[in-house]
Amino acid sequence: MNLELGAELAAALRAASERTGKSQQALVHEAVTLHVSGNGVPGSDRERARAEGLVQPARIPYRKVVPRLLLQADTSTLELLDRDDRF
């Protein structure tokens, strides 16, 4: 299949590819899939944000966080805050 795009649409596709880090082919495939499936727009808020380039993929993989502070059983984090009770 050959696909001819006008200069403006081709430039927009290149810009979207650079912004999202996806290949132009992947973006066209995604757009055709969404159009043919009848959805038009990805379903979740996260998918829409990714499609609009508002959310970037993680730069480092998930890693388990080790707590730096262990509280005693009868202590809450709220008690550790400096509070001004004048209100």
pLDDT along the chain (87 residues), means of 10: 90 93 92 72 71 80 82 82 63
pLDDT score of 74:
85
Q: Do residues 51 and 42 touch, judged by C-beta distance below 8 A? A: yes
Exposure string for 77-86, b = 16+ CB within 10 A, e = fewer: eeeeeeeeee
